[in-house]
Amino acid sequence: MAKYATGKYARAISDRSGMEFPYKEMVREWNGAFVHVSEFEPKQPQLEPKPMNGDSISLRHVRPDRTEPATTVRIPNNGFETYAAGSGVINVFSPGHGLTDNTTYRFRGPPTTSAGSGFVYANPQSFDGITGANIAKAAGYTIRTGRYKSDARDASSDYITSNFFFFTVDTNTATSGNIKGGGYGCSVGPVTIEA
């Protein structure tokens, strides 16, 4: 069989541009076109997609999603504040409380132990004519997010609604108004939580 010539001095015409180039600088593309190396275009990867298997059916070790237990939200030291004299409205400062508007929650004082009963919640400290036992009423109170201000709800910003809420106590009214109290270790949470 005869050998091909090396093409040392030969010229070739590009199928893409029609220009003349040295034969040794020519290459063949995937589609059969004979082109110069500067004009070479590789095959588009999307013309030959990789085969894909079907989606998996399920994971091997699965468990149902866990139901989160009910928890309380901590209220900072003296986080309760009476609105005005003769009013039962109490504004509460609790940063990032995450409580739901128009929902009933129960207030609790600091956790403590009691002889015979074990672990219990004490009542918040009384202040400005509002008794701690009234704040910690077992049935709880319906709260509103935001601050109570001039017989209306102040929910003017995300900061106000996410850090403040208010409720109205049943039997007591404030003596002076704008007095903070409740003491340390108070919390608020679902009525169903027991000590």
Is residue 20 a contact partner of residue 11, using CB atoms and an 8 Å limit? Answer: yes
The domain of 34 spans: 11-43
Residue 80, pLDDT score: 96
Residues 118 and 37 in one domain: no
- Residue with the larger pLDDT of the pair 189 and 60: 189
- Whether the per-residue pLDDT at 97 is higher than 80: the answer is yes
Please state the separation of Cα 175 from the chain's center in Å.
40
Q: Is residue 1 part of a domain?
A: no
| pLDDT at site 195 | 61
Report the CATH number that the domain containing residue 161 is assigned in CATH.
2.40.30.20
pLDDT tens digits, residue range 36-81? 999 999 998 888 888 888 887 778 888 888 888 888 899 999 999 9
Convert 147-185 to b/e letters by CB count within 10 Å (16 or more is b): bbeeeebeeeeeebbbbbbbbebeebbbeebebebbbeb
| 119 part of a folded domain | yes
Helix (H, G, I), strand (E, B) or coil at 20: strand
pLDDT of residue 143: 94
- Count up the domains in the chain and report the number: 2
What pTM did the predictor assign? 0.64
Same-domain check for residues 125 and 164: yes
The answer to whether position 129 is within a domain reads yes
In this structure, are 28 and 81 located in the same domain?
A: no
Query: What residue spans of the chain are helical by DSSP H?
Result: 132-135, 158-163
> Which pLDDT tens digit goes with each residue over 143-175?
999 899 876 777 778 888 899 999 999 888 999
**What is the C-alpha separation between 185 and 132, in angstroms, rounded?**
13
The whole-angstrom separation of Cα 150 and Cα 169 is: 17
Cα separation, 59 vs 158, whole angstroms: 40
For residues 130 and 191, what is the distance between their CA atoms, to the nearest angstrom? 20
Taking only the tens place, the pLDDT of each residue in 102-136 is: 999 999 999 888 777 778 889 999 999 999 999 99
Token pair belonging to 22: 């040295």
For residue 147, tell me if it sits in a domain.
yes
pLDDT for the residue numbered 157:
85
